[in-house]
Structure 1
């Protein structure tokens, strides 16, 4: 079951990555990715992996040491939970990168490689986007609609 959950965590996130990278201008992509709930599926996989073994995980994360974290991640359950954790938070970062790049009207051909970098090496993709975004000002905010 652990192996299946390991594989499932990325499979649940992959459609959102595909939308952001392959169909960035499709109106449904913006609508779907606008919801922070897109990270829920891999986060739920994480919960399924961690909550039944909270007694094992809690000491390693509440008072982390390199050997303690190494020991936890060296197990199948720990590695699968770590992977689901990476997938959920990389997707959250990718979602922000996508939305921020649309807000700034950054070219999709520039954002796509950054999103790929984020899938593979999360923080490096985030750093790349933070560096690139300085060249594009955010779009002017739309005036608020007045209640009649």
Structure 2
């Protein structure tokens, strides 16, 4: 499979997980679990791509300790693809955690949706918004067994 085909697949697959999270109130445990399965599949794909990239590397290891070294490494489309899959997998896993935690804390779904959208588009900003939303007063936090 070419890098372009992998890129198309890597962009399409997480959408299934994000759609499940948007529909979470219908069957939260199953839908959060399905998003996690997609994120885990993305993580497996990431691990395989990293392994293959390391196996085919013929020159010196890239310098990831400087900004210019990182820029040189990411100028390779395959390395950029591996990095992109990294972001997609972790953002989806974070979104799944947000949906699960929102259910436990009684956060209304309409308040969760903007958090999920921002986590999808700009991971850390969506996470920050969710961390703020989950602290709003008036939410229930059931006792843990």
Shared fold by TM > 0.5?
yes
Cα distance per residue 1:23-48 (max 9 Å; x no partner): 12112x42241364331221122223
Task: Number of aligned residue pairs: give it.
Answer: 139
Tell me the CA shift for residue 66 of structure 1. 1.0
Q: Distance in 2 between matches of 1:6 and 1:45?
A: 11
**Cα distance in 2 between the residues matched to 1:60 and 1:24:** 41
2:100 is the alignment partner of 1:99: yes
| 1:140 CA drift (Å) | 1.6
Distance, in Å, in 2 between the alignment partners of 1:38 and 1:141 is 29
Q: State how far apart, in whole Å, the 2-side matches of 1:93 and 1:138 are.
A: 21
1:70-118 CA distances to partner (integer Å, 9 max, x unpaired)?
1111111011111100000001111111111111111111111110110
**Could you state the TM-score of these two structures normalised by the residue count of structure 2?**
0.84
TM-score of the superposition, structure 1-length normalised? Answer: 0.82
2:105–2:142 contact (8 Å) kept in structure 1: no
1:141 is displaced (CA, Å) by: 2.3
Q: Is the counterpart of residue 124 in structure 1 residue 125 in structure 2?
A: yes
> Where in structure 2 are there 5+ consecutive unaligned residues?
none
Partner of 2:37 in structure 1?
Answer: 37
Match status 1:115 vs 2:116: yes
Alignment of 1:52 onto 2:41: no
- Give me the whole-angstrom Cα distance separating, in 2, the residues matched to 1:5 and 1:48: 12
Structure 1 pair 125–60 and aligned structure 2 pair: CA distance change class (3 A): farther
- The alpha-carbon deviation at position 52 of structure 1 amounts to 1.2
